[in-house]
Structure 1
């Protein structure tokens, strides 16, 4: 379902509501009360990666020339804002939630930041009003955490205006139907793009989300760099750096991704060089291609940033980063998210009729022929490559003999 204005006004991520309003919770250096709102302990990896990213920014390794200031636009119980201050070393934190009933919980939970001499602001404004005020007052941040309920597209331009150059938008969407091809009309309305059923549906959603940010940044005369992107199938998260200007030929990364449901072939084209689609692997009269986009065709992960985050883990107090978060970080670092063509091993097995070959053996066979071939860091059981699909099938079939 596409989020309406009320959904975008400042509510935090959705989850199972705690049974008691005074429920205590500990995570990293944060100890707090969850309150009566929604909260998901399972989202800890996203919070851990946010802390690592903020710690990187605070240490000046991402070209910020001033102390790190953070805006947590939809703060909920305040756990992300608290951890940005206590663990990442942010010098100033602004925690906002549109629900005024959450203010007492936020104020109690964020008291440790005041004691630590972190400049702290706590407000209860709609996200739209707060960002408009930032624009009028020319206030900008090194990290803007936008953990939206629903689709955050309407807030992206104003959020980018609130970023310093080289600052980062940490964006989340819980709209899973539109960008994964399950509600095509809603995808047109919320993303300005076509979204069709695709084997790598989570990755499709992330690429559509990055494209929204790219178009908004380019309209401002700026550029973007995706730092990391991931999903557990429910929430789609991307950390995107705002560049002073777009890198050369960055616009080539916006394009279309096509999938043939009959033969399994995938094709991609940049909008800048759009032409007739080449023939897929079907014999005879092939069915129409399922085309999604415009979306981001470029890398989903920035290896230097992820490597720097990984190096920070042992420098932070024990327990700051959960083991599951370390595994996620390593998985993302091993897969830049390019090329964009991505298949599931299960689909490959169905098409071969005898089950899929060992994934590592297939990747090695493809690499031996000069192709790029990697396990997906976004979805388990997926692999990406730039080899022609018929050749993938041939090698897979030979490995099964």
Structure 2
């Protein structure tokens, strides 16, 4: 079902998708249940695992909702996310879905319209497309009191300027899928930009990808709290180039949610780490430098709570197994990896760095190191965000001792 001025009143500039012939032929690309033309604009095949996740999240929401839904692909590009949502994520028994697809580049309008044509035959789906700046679309939606159950914001650079507007039009318990390609500032390589973009100090750290995700979550949490809402991270990951988060907006701030905002300190001399919530901030303990000359380098404020919701990720994997959703092998590996690591404890350690500090021949076997730490009564697991890293609450001295034991066999 196509949107009309009577069925879906929108501002001037919005229009229903029409059949449009592309003037220049482009190659077709197949992914999941869709076949489309990517055109000459920016498109990354390697981002498929993140698109798989968005389809599964949309499917999960559609299967549980008891009312009509409204989804927004804010920066649609060639339209692949919206097309996959409509063809893969919508059960036949669903109430009506209103799918909005927007891209600010007018040169991509005909491509977007052509790619989305298969959605004409989807029962219960109304499709609305636009060529509008993201900020204008979100602000107009707020003025019109048009709210969305799912928003995908796949930004170039830092998306923080759009967060308040996006959260303001996200329904309670709605999902925000966020991408950022701003890698330098949250990883500590452009500290002035981190202050401007995140209102935070950012330091270079072995677990830099994770800290970038935690800094982004902190900004999201503060924006949600200003609206009187709570924030629940569902999945957070990166391949080093793009930082991706999926979060749920809650009706209210949960008990002690403010304790999830804190600071992470690291001594570059000895490698020790410490974490403190902002609500309980006090003097930092001494690091493990034996001569007392070490100094803490502090990153934050950042999110020090969980990064993943493992129970939901297991449900998504079950959905992929039980329903005709084409989950790529890379997407399946991603979900399996994330569901084994909720993101706590906060401190992550690079086994290669630990081995280097000890002048060992090589890093200890990660699984064996995790196992020995668990047997010693500590929390420990491989990091799902960066390979070759583990997260644990074990003291640095014991962690180093375990490394030596697993590499040299000395006790």
> TM-score per shorter chain, which class?
over 0.9
Cα distance change, pair 65–161 in 1 and its aligned pair in 2 (3 A): farther
Are 2:148 and 2:169, in contact at CA under 8 Å, matched by a contact in 1? yes
Please report the TM-score for the alignment, with normalisation by the length of structure 1. Answer: 0.92
Q: Compute the displacement of 1:316 (Å).
A: 2.7
Q: Compute the displacement of 1:21 (Å).
A: 5.9
Are 1:95 and 1:123, in contact at CA under 8 Å, matched by a contact in 2? yes
Question: The residue matched to 1:59 in structure 2 has which SS?
Answer: helix
* Range with bigger deviation, 131-140 or 309-318: 309-318
In the alignment, the residues of structure 1 paired with residue 246 and residue 339 of structure 2 have an alpha-carbon distance, to the nearest angstrom, of 14
Question: For structure 2, which runs of at least 5 residues remain unmatched after alignment?
Answer: 1-23, 92-96
Q: Deviations over 1:225-260 (max 9, x none)?
A: 000000000000000100000110000000001111
Q: Compute the displacement of 1:115 (Å).
A: 1.9
**Residue number in structure 1 paired with 2:358:** 352
Q: Compute the displacement of 1:65 (Å).
A: 4.0
**Residue number in structure 1 paired with 2:85:** 84
Are 2:286 and 2:292, in contact at CA under 8 Å, matched by a contact in 1? no
The residue correspondences of 1:92-107 to structure 2 (distance < 5 A) are 92-107=98-113
**Residue number in structure 2 paired with 1:217:** 224
**Residue number in structure 1 paired with 2:341:** 335
Question: For structure 1, which runs of at least 5 residues remain unmatched after alignment?
Answer: 1-19
In the alignment, the residues of structure 2 paired with residue 66 and residue 225 of structure 1 have an alpha-carbon distance, to the nearest angstrom, of 22
Q: Deviations over 1:249-303 (max 9, x none)?
A: 0000000011111111111000000011111111223232111100000000001
Are 1:300 and 1:337, in contact at CA under 8 Å, matched by a contact in 2? yes
**Residue number in structure 2 paired with 1:150:** 157
Q: Deviations over 1:164-213 (max 9, x none)?
A: 11001000000010111100000000111111001101000000011110
Q: Deviations over 1:280-337 (max 9, x none)?
A: 111223232111100000000001211110110112326x110111011000000001
2:260 is equivalent to residue 256 of structure 1: no
In the alignment, the residues of structure 1 paired with residue 218 and residue 87 of structure 2 have an alpha-carbon distance, to the nearest angstrom, of 33
Which of 290, 294, 297 does residue 287 from structure 1 map onto? 294
**Residue number in structure 2 paired with 1:69:** 70
2:324 is equivalent to residue 317 of structure 1: yes
Question: The residue matched to 1:391 in structure 2 has which SS?
Answer: helix
In the alignment, the residues of structure 1 paired with residue 404 and residue 345 of structure 2 have an alpha-carbon distance, to the nearest angstrom, of 23
The residue correspondences of 1:229-308 to structure 2 (distance < 5 A) are 229-308=236-315
Are 1:85 and 1:92, in contact at CA under 8 Å, matched by a contact in 2? no
Q: Compute the displacement of 1:35 (Å).
A: 1.4
In the alignment, the residues of structure 2 paired with residue 389 and residue 323 of structure 1 have an alpha-carbon distance, to the nearest angstrom, of 36
Task: Give the greater-gyration-radius structure (CA).
Answer: 2
Q: How many residues align?
A: 378
**Residue number in structure 2 paired with 1:17:** none
Structure 1: 4+ residue segments shifted above 6 A: none
Are 1:145 and 1:171, in contact at CA under 8 Å, matched by a contact in 2? yes
**Residue number in structure 1 paired with 2:391:** 384
Q: Deviations over 1:52-72 (max 9, x none)?
A: 111001101xxx442332100
2:45 is equivalent to residue 44 of structure 1: no
Q: Deviations over 1:331-378 (max 9, x none)?
A: 000000111100111011111212222222211121112110000011
Q: Compute the displacement of 1:145 (Å).
A: 0.1
Please report the TM-score for the alignment, with normalisation by the length of structure 2. Answer: 0.90
CA-based RMSD of the aligned residues comes to: 1.2
In the alignment, the residues of structure 1 paired with residue 364 and residue 132 of structure 2 have an alpha-carbon distance, to the nearest angstrom, of 54
Which of 34, 39, 54 does residue 35 from structure 1 map onto? 39
In the alignment, the residues of structure 2 paired with residue 336 and residue 122 of structure 1 have an alpha-carbon distance, to the nearest angstrom, of 37
In the alignment, the residues of structure 1 paired with residue 178 and residue 49 of structure 2 have an alpha-carbon distance, to the nearest angstrom, of 14
Q: Deviations over 1:134-189 (max 9, x none)?
A: 11111111110000000000100110111111001000000010111100000000
In the alignment, the residues of structure 2 paired with residue 129 and residue 209 of structure 1 have an alpha-carbon distance, to the nearest angstrom, of 23
Are 1:21 and 1:34, in contact at CA under 8 Å, matched by a contact in 2? no
In the alignment, the residues of structure 2 paired with residue 110 and residue 162 of structure 1 have an alpha-carbon distance, to the nearest angstrom, of 24
